[in-house]
Every structure is written in structure tokens, then in C-alpha cells.
Amino acid sequence: MLKTYQVKPVTGSIEGTIRPPGSKSITNRALIVAALAEGTTQLTGVLDSQDTQVMIESLNRLGINVKHDPEKCTILVEGCAGKIPQSTASLWLENSGTSIRFLTALCATGTGEYILDGNARMRERPIQHLVEALKQLGVDVVCENDTGCPPVRVKGNGLSGGETAISGSVSSQYLSALLMVAATAENPITISIQGKMVSKPYLEITLGVMAQFGVTIDRIQPSVWRIHPQTYRRSIAYDIEPDASAASYFFAAAAITGGSVTVEGLNQDALQGDINFIRVLEDMGCNIEQSRNSITVHGCPLKGIDVDMNDISDTAQTLAAVALFAEGPTSIRNVGHIRHKETDRLTAIANELKRMGIKVEETEDSITIYPGEIHSATIETYDDHRMAMSFALVGLKVPGIVIADPDCTIKTYPHFFADLEKLCGQSS
Ligand SMILES: O=C(O)C1=C[C@@H](OP(=O)(O)O)[C@@H](O)[C@H](O)C1
Ligand SMILES: C=C(OP(=O)(O)O)C(=O)O
């Protein structure tokens, strides 16, 4: 375990090509849906990281045969045709939001008693809205400690169907979780979405993955969705695109150093909303070049922007790093929900920018960053992979940036620092 990582500044600009590992969001959805499917599915291009490992381990504990070949980036899933084999299981999800939310809904389709829990931070991350929605469908489910957070106990008896309402004001993952399991119910399930929905593009990922396995939904009204009983069909070879949130760090590296970075395996048609981070960089002055199977960001003089990042909030920290090298302030707005992630990300960004001597203004749901002289510093990462990966970018330009607890990137990108060094031509 490394205690710290000293970022090596680059001389000049970064020119290079990289293919980030597979998408976390797609890998974890494909695992859930393949587990529910009839027949054996092969997933290729999968992400191998803590968030996908806890998902795989949990599916195995539920009696679903999942075989992972990390070398080949493939996973074989023997689907259970909507019938979870195990009637009791205790699942440990570390701090993987997608895993605990999706698996809570999956357990509701089983017959038996399941407990889902995670690390200390996971016990502070809300899941109550999902619990409420499942209860309305007749599921016996509770937050064990009455905190609205894990641990969660689910007594499953299959889903019979019916109507439910769900709030999306804290996380879109609750609705994604419900959508994926709803097709297994005996009767249709109608879901009313209450109030505003955060992180909307992730719902399109959910629907896209479901569609790959042959399941569709009816959007009766914009906020009333119905899912009829349907069977997921195995996918013989489902290829998962690279992670667009991970790609944001490399696009940002081009922007910050005035270089050119090509990310392979992604284009504007990617399923992941975070691909639109390139539009933010474009608004700041970068040039974007696209091909059928790659995107290149060319760094140019940067200007600060005012941007609503509700849809792509996993890239808010990336933008915070880029903002330091722009002319004029940058405001990142409408991201109050990122206070419920791996850490309170708005406070974490503010603390660490201040540590480098940067002036910031933080509100309940936004942060404004005023570029200024950047001091060397050891950056605290709060067990948040995105703090580590984003703030490392600052060190490409500023000497003396040290990242504390760099191994926290295992959550979604275990080889991040090695890949960054390779891209920068720094590997030994
Ligand atoms: O559904 C998903 O795959 C995700 C949804 C987002 O969470 P919220 O919906 O909680 O904002 C995102 O931050 C997370 O990394 C992945
Ligand atoms: C918020 C994140 O993850 P999750 O909610 O899946 O734990 C993330 O990867 O930035």
C-alpha cells in the first residue's frame, strides 16, 4: 500500500492515446441483467475494480455462477432466469453505490432473506427512497439501523407487480435498480417519478443495457413508466465501452497541458452521459476532434465557465482541476447530490483547493473556483477515487503535488496512476 503518490510534472504538453478500462456503470448493470437472464452471457471489455468485484462476489453468494477472467476482461454469467438460487445471503458492498442499490432490488426478486451492508461511508449513504419504493410493491425491506442508509435487510418473495412512486432527488440509481428488476414481476409495474431526477443520463444507460437483453419499457408520461413482465434473453457477446468518467481525466490532461489526447473506444454516441464532459472542455476553449472510434481533445487557452453539471456530476472534480488553469472563475452548479457520494465532494473539493491557496465559494449545491497562484500541497482524498484522479491532474503542471492514499482509485480504476504515467511518457 502506497501512503502517498508524488505527481511528476510534465515538461511541455501531453500528446498521446489511451483506452480507459470498461465502464463501471455498464459492467454492473450488465451483470445484474445477465444474472436475471435465461442462458449464459459473455461480457467483454468489462471493468475489473473493487466496484465490479463486490458485485461479482455478491452474485456468486446469491448462487449465480459468474466467472471472471481479469486477464481477458471477460465475464461469463449463467443467468438464473429470474429465480435467485440462494434463499439467504449476506452481501458486502464496500462503498459501491451501484452495487448496493442494484442488488437490494435484485434481492427483492428472490425468495428468502438477504442482508446488504458496506463500509463506514456506505452506512452514511442514503437508500431510503429505494426502500420506500420497494415497500409500496409489497416487499418486506428495512434499513436495519433506522438511518435511511445500509445495512438493508430484504425478505424477498418475488415481485407481484403494482404501482410505486420513487424520488430521484438524491440518486438516479434507485430508479435504475427498480427498472432492471421490474420485468421479473408477475404483473406490470408502474413507476411514478416524484420531483426532479438527478443524474438523468444514467437512466438511459439502464434502458440501453436492458434493451440489449431484449427488455423494453413504456414511458406512458414523462414521469410515469411501465414495465410489463418480460424475460431477459442472454447476450452471446456484449461488449462494454470504456468508462467515460475515467476518460475525463485524460481529456482534462490535454486541456491543462495544452496537448492533444485521443481516447479510443468512445465516440459521441456512447451510452454514457459523461462523454459530454468534452462539451464542457469545448466551451472552455478546447478543440474536439471525433472519429468513428475515438475522440481527441486538443488543449487551447482556457477560459472559465458557468456550468450546470447535474447530468455529469462524476466529472465535477475533473472540471475543478481544469478550472485552475483557465482565465477567470468557473462555477459548477446544481450538484448538491454529490454531497452523498464517496465523500461530501463539494466540501472535499473546497478543502483541497484552499489547501493549494485557491479561493473558492461553496454553496449548498455549487462551487465557484477563482484561479490564482497554486501552492504545492499534499492532497487529502477522503477515500474518494475521483479526488485522487482529479487532483493528480494539477500535479502535471504544478511541482510538489502529492496525493494521499492513492490506492483509493481501486474503486473504479486500479491502474490509474500507471496509465497516466504511460500517457505522459513517464513510465520507467
Ligand atoms: O447509475 C450509475 O451507474 C451511477 C449513477 C450516478 O450516481 P447518482 O445517480 O447517485 O448521482 C453516478 O454518480 C455513479 O457513479 C454511477
Ligand atoms: C459516485 C460514484 O460511485 P457509486 O455511487 O457507484 O458508489 C462514483 O463512481 O463517482
Kindly give the distance from the C-alpha atom of residue 25 to the centroid of ligand 2, in angstroms, as a whole number: 9
Percent of all residues in the chain with a pLDDT value above 90, rounded to a whole number:
98
If phi > 0 it is left, if psi is from -120 to 50 it is alpha, else beta; for residue 216 that is beta
Tell how many helices (H) and how many strands (E) occur in the chain. 12, 23
Every domain of the chain and the residues it spans: 4-21+241-425, 24-239
Angle at 140 between CA 137 and CA 146, to 5 degrees: 115
Measure CA of the first residue to CA of the last residue in the chain; give whole Å.
Answer: 20
pLDDT above 90 for 427: no
pLDDT in tens, 394-410: 999 999 999 999 999 99
Cis before residue 151, ω within 30 degrees of 0? yes
Instruction: Say whether domain 24-239 belongs to CATH 3.40.50.1370.
Output: no
pLDDT above 80 for 197: yes
Is residue 314 part of the annotated active site? The answer reads: yes
- Give the pLDDT score at 36: 98
Mean pLDDT score of the chain, rounded to an integer?
Answer: 97
Give the CA count within 13 Å in the CB-facing half-sphere of 6: 4
SS3 at position 409: helix
SS3 at position 92: strand
**Residue ranges of the binding site:** 24-25, 29, 97, 125, 171-173, 199, 314, 341, 345, 386, 411
Mind giving me the DSSP string for 289-356? EEETTEEEEE----B--EEE-STTGGGHHHHHHHHTTSBS-EEEES-GGGGGSSS-HHHHHHHHHHHT
**Nearest-10 Cα torsion for 166, 101, 406, 280:** -40
Tell me which residue of 150, 199, 185 sits closest to 316, measured CA to CA.
199
- Give the pLDDT score at 422: 97
CA dihedral sign, ordered 379, 384, 386, 389: positive
* Helical (H) or strand (E) element with 74: strand 74-78
pLDDT above 90 for 284: yes
- Give the pLDDT score at 287: 98
Could you check whether 4-21+241-425 and 24-239 share the same CATH topology? yes
pLDDT above 80 for 332: yes
Residue 56 corresponds to which cell in the numbers above? 461479482
* Cβ < 6 A, ligand 2 pocket: 95-98, 314, 341-342, 386, 412
Residue 249 corresponds to which cell in the numbers above? 481525466
pLDDT in tens, 288-325: 999 999 999 999 999 999 999 999 999 999 999 999 99
Mean pLDDT in residue range 118-147: 98
| Superfamily holding 4-21+241-425 | Enolpyruvate transferase domain (3.65.10.10)
* Helical (H) or strand (E) element with 179: helix 173-182
Mean pLDDT in residue range 5-15: 96
* Catalytic one of 48, 314, 383, 405: 314
pLDDT in tens, 211-229: 999 999 999 999 999 999 9
Mean pLDDT in residue range 160-170: 97
Kindly give the distance from the C-alpha atom of residue 373 to the centroid of ligand 1, in angstroms, as a whole number: 33
pLDDT above 90 for 235: no
Residue 50 makes CB contacts below 8 A (sequence gap 6+) with 94, 96, 410, 411, 412, 414
ipTM: 0.99
**Residue ranges of the binding site for phosphoenolpyruvate:** 24, 97, 125, 173, 345, 386, 411
Kindly give the distance from the C-alpha atom of residue 334 to the centroid of ligand 1, in angstroms, as a whole number: 15
Place 428 in a pLDDT band, splitting at 50, 70 and 90: low
**In sequence order, what are the beta bridge partners of 226?**
190, 218
Q: Are 210 and 247 in contact (CB under 8 A)?
A: no
